[in-house]
Amino acid sequence: MLYVGLTARIQQELKQPPTLVRQSVKDYIVDPRDNIIIECEAKGNPVPTFSWRKNRKFFNIAKDPRVTMRKGSGTLEIGFRSGGRPEDYEGEYQCFAKNDLGTALSNKILLRVSKAPLWPKEVLEPVVVTEGSPLVLLCNPPPGLPPPFTFWMTSGMSPIRQDKRVSMGLNGDMYFSNVIARDADTDYSCNARFPFTHTIQQKNPFTLKVHTKEPYNDTSYNATDPFGGRKVAESTPTFLSPSGSQSSKMVLRDEHLLLECIAAGLPTPTIKWFKKGGDLPGHKVKFEKFNKTLKMVSVSEEDDGEYVCMANNHLGSIRHSIFVHVKAAPYWLDKPTDLVLAPDENGRLVCRANGNPKPEIKWLMNGEPLENPSPNPSRQVLGDTIIFRSVQMGGSAVYQCNASNEHGYLLANAFVSVLDMPPRMLGAKKQLIKVIENNRTFLDCPFFGSPLPELRWFKNGQGSGLDGGQYRAYINGTLEIKKARAEDEGTYTCVASSILGMAENQVSLEVKERTRIVGAPEHKSAIRGSTARFTCKVKSDPSLPVTVTWTKDDKPLYLGWRLKKDEESLTISNVNEGDEGTYACTVKSEIDQDSASARLTVLEEASLNPSVSSALPPDRPDPPMDLDLSDPAARSVRLTWIPGNDHRSPITEFLVQFEEDRWEPGRWQNLSTYPGDFNSVILQLAPFVNYQFRVIAINTVGQSQPSRPSPRYKTSGAAPDAIPRGVRGWGSEKDNMEISWEPLLDLERNGPNLRYSVWWRRKDAGEEWSNVTTEGSKHVVHNTDTYVPYEVKVQARNEFGPGPESNQVIGYSGEDVPTDAPTDLRVSKVGSTKANIHWKPVDPASVRGEFKEYKLYYWRESSLVPGLLVSKEKRTKGVYSTASEPSGILSDLVPYSRYQMFMVVANGRFEGPPSNTVEFTTKEGVPDAPRFFRINRRSFDSIYLEWDKPLEPNGILIGYQLKYRIVNGSRVGGRTQLETFFPNVTDFTLRLPDRSTRYNFFLSALTQIGAGEVFAEESPPFANQAYIDQVDIATQGWFIGLMCAIALIILILLIVCFIKRSRGGKYPVRDKKDLPLDPVDQKEDGSFDYQSR
């Protein structure tokens, strides 16, 4: 069984075969000026002894006085203080670390001494070449170790300018695709830089003599016409490197691939690269040296194949195929790891590696090849696996796996240690663990044994093993308690058991309450000379002692006669300005802590009556004073100020503002903010600005008035730091490209005379950059081809120099009208509202711009319904498709109509010529809803319905259908009834069974296809007069009752009047006329009484 990660204690007590922990690299190049150190360190028990082989023979260190071995390791040190040549120690070294249990091997270390040989002396005659011809200047640097880095310069140590025409090849030679007369104006010297010695050697320079057919005047040189108008014979491309039509290249997996094609010709050919049968992997391919070099990083097997470079100019083109073969040195799939086995146990070592060619696996034991079949019956070698069966004591050894092919090798050591040991505990006995409630907790129980014991946890010596739910047991012996609670307290026992015995250990767990501050200190303002008191009330576990400490501004607070603390507070007597600051209370127990802080602000005595002062409300602070500038630097200055009175509310922040007198004089702008306890800061500034500053104090009430301005401070100028933003290239005309960008902000100028350098070149064409310098934020490139991609970049510069370049962006020259029209426009699967459209696409080159869409123009020519007038307004639909057989769906059509359509192709600015016009008819559909649907109540017992035909019948109307059902309050009940009507009927009267009955109506028009959109209405209630068209008031109940009441009152009045009239006047009637009147009869109001005697 596998056991990894023995503790240091076990490693000291147990026997262990050697394990290498450090060794030198396989290919080891050393500097001859230094001592040679070859590393080899190993661990094991007993401590390993070391020996070395050199060139596969025993290396007797004792016989060489220059070679010593470091104490406690196998590292060799070879010194040359007393003489000797480092070259004498070149060779292949291998270290052996050995103890009683086995031998571990290092890699084979190939030691080589760095070399920087001199350039051979040679006399170089002038190179004579005809103008327009190709030329190769050979470098042939001396073969250094490691190989030198080559570059070309003039004898005056100026670099040779390389471009599309002139460049250095991978072999260091200088290639001229064609020679111009101006090439003779300088000489050419190849230089070699050796990395170890940091020396540069220079080859004797080449001089050129260029023969021209016509006189050459260097004042007539023009970059666009390097031959100055002279007639030079043009030539088709030919390859200078590599030669022939094809070549091959081998590269190893994970290395970099470099392919090169350099061509001669006039005009200078451009180079393009392709991969047959696939695309170049863009994420790891980069083109260098003006497209002449293809660089691919981290090559893998899928990059194997044929790569083609093509060189062309307007006279012709040639191709060269490079067949790339990707091989691989061995790499690990499954590296063997150490085994610890008990007697009679089984195990295996696995060594799997891959490579191209497939690596060969060889096994060694203690540095000696293993025989197969093995003489040891407990060990069997099966290719990349060694199987161990029933191992016995004394079977420990170190095994080596060597995986090799023609491109390299891998060597791994893995020991097999046979141990017979009962379980044992490695940790301290009976630990006590204290944890905070609700925290995650780990109980450790490190153990060891061979065979590997099984470990189980128990709580309070009871129950089954703990694993699952609240607990999780790990194979290394750790028990996790996910959320410690009070009921988790107790004694936990870990028991490790195997066939050889059992061992146990105990861990006691105590769960404590969290220590916390329940009464935190609060911000205070105190008048100078008074007393301030901060409280800090703490709650903690009663069994955990706690300590409370105070700090001021994060520094220890020293107590004395003025500063005193008790269990719950800090008292400051006789407060002064030095006491102002932030006071923090920190409470600590042995397992946790908590803290809180508050600020003390010291106030001036504002009144003879302290109570009046303390009662004043907080206010805005006074402005800062006495601004001072110091520590001037190119782009910074220190600003210092004195804070004003904070008026009983601590200052929380200072705002620094600036004003400059060059771009926006008089306008104050925010620069930065700082905490309220700062009064001296370093301001970061922009170059070439004449600053002055002011400061605003801020508290919880608001902002102060600004301070008085500081003296002015002018920063020196510098090149721009900012990169022009928003760089883009686009064509406003078919033969131009406008390059535009956002100008730098005023504070980004950094100096006078701001200008912009603009570069552009055709993308992937291998052209040189064209450039111009302008003061504006736009430049127009004229005489471009139509819609071609350009690489564009912009750089700001001023009198102090250029700034950083922008990233390259891709812009396009202008678009032109597309030349081709889509062809074979047709429809299929025409329905009532949809139709499928098909067409043949245009040639992408004919779009002459960025393909935007195919635009379909369609319109309704007429309706198939007789007499129905329609709008012929054109509508459009855009379809984006790059398929070889494009198609689309035209929707939202009107049924039963005749349509026409044509299609154009569109780019960003123009539309091309129209395609063929297609006519089609849509099928009949269901009609729209009726134009209106009104419900009128003309009597108590009937409803009058009225409607109009649909605006779009979508076919031939064959009638209408009306569905209705009774509505009872908010519920719909009763059976749905259906009425149908002829197409010329547009009204209907419905008799009501009861004057209070209400209905829901659903009206729709009909064609042969079916019922159309439904128009739903609800009949009005009985009391709703708005829906009653004509009502006879004489038939209303309330009116009849009113009239009857009036008639009855009139009748009663008439009866009363009749009775009074029958009495005959104002005097009383008596039996005898001469009797005097009674007092009761003496009325003066003209009324009378009726009495009987």
Q: What is the model's pTM?
A: 0.49
What's residue 1022's pLDDT? 57
CB 443 within 8 A of CB 459: no
Instruction: Work out the pLDDT band at 12, boundaries 50, 70, 90.
Output: low
Span of 395-399, 893-897, 1061-1065 with lowest mean pLDDT: 1061-1065
11 three-class SS: helix
558-594: pLDDT as tens digits: 887 788 888 889 999 888 888 899 999 999 999 899 9
Average pLDDT of span 517-521: 89
81 has pLDDT over 70? yes
Would the pLDDT of 269 be above 70? yes
**What's the N-to-C CA distance of the chain in angstroms?**
148
Higher pLDDT, 798 or 1070: 798
Q: What is the pLDDT of residue 930?
A: 92
Q: What was the pLDDT predicted at 843?
A: 92
Q: Which of 471, 347, 500 is nearest to 415 (CA)?
A: 347
Both tokens assigned to 961? 């259908």
How much is the pLDDT for 13? 66
**How high is the pLDDT of residue 1067?**
40
In order of 422, 435, 439, 505, 1020, the CA distances from 457 in angstroms are 18, 19, 20, 10, 82
Residue 117 has pLDDT above 90, yes or no: no
CB 639 within 8 A of CB 627: yes
On the question of pLDDT at 969 being above 80, the answer is no
Task: In whole angstroms, give the CA distance from residue 146 to residue 192.
Answer: 12
- DSSP characters over 99-118: ETTEEEEPPPEEEEE-B-PP
Residues 676-695 pLDDT 10s: 888 889 999 999 999 999 99
**What mean pLDDT do residues 135-151 have?**
90
* pLDDT at position 1041: 82
- Could you give the CA distance from residue 884 to residue 297 in angstroms, rounded to a whole number? 35
Reported as a single tens digit per residue, the pLDDT across 868-887 is 888 889 999 988 888 888 99
- Whole-number pLDDT of residue 98: 93
Query: What is the pLDDT, as a whole number, of residue 1081?
Result: 42
Mean local confidence (pLDDT), 12-37: 88
Q: If DSSP codes are grouped into helix, strand and coil, which group holds residue 584?
A: strand
Q: Is the pLDDT of residue 1068 over 80?
A: no
Instruction: Please report the domains of the chain, with CATH numbers, ordered by start residue.
Output: 8-113 (2.60.40.10), 123-220 (2.60.40.10), 335-418 (2.60.40.10), 424-512 (2.60.40.10), 517-615 (2.60.40.10), 625-714 (2.60.40.10), 725-812 (2.60.40.10), 823-921 (2.60.40.10), 933-1031 (2.60.40.10)
Q: Are 124 and 206 in contact (CB under 8 A)?
A: yes
Residue closest to 599 by CA, chosen among 561, 574, 572, 622: 572
Residue type, 1079: P
Query: pLDDT tens-digit profile of 713-727?
Result: 999 889 998 999 999
For residue 341, pLDDT beyond 50:
yes
Stretch among 112-116, 399-403, 739-743 having the lowest mean pLDDT: 112-116
**pLDDT (mean) for 624-640:** 89
Neighbours of 386 (CB within 10 A): 24
Distance CA 762, CA 729 (A): 12
Whole-number mean pLDDT of the chain? Answer: 86
Element (H, E) at 958: none
User: DSSP of 148-198, one letter per residue?
Assistant: PEEEEE-TTSPBPP--SSEEE-TTS-EEESS--GGGGGS-BEEEEEETTTT
| Residue 786, pLDDT above cutoff 60 | yes
**Is-cis flag, bond preceding 46, omega within 30?**
yes
Band the pLDDT of 482: cuts 50, 70, 90.
confident
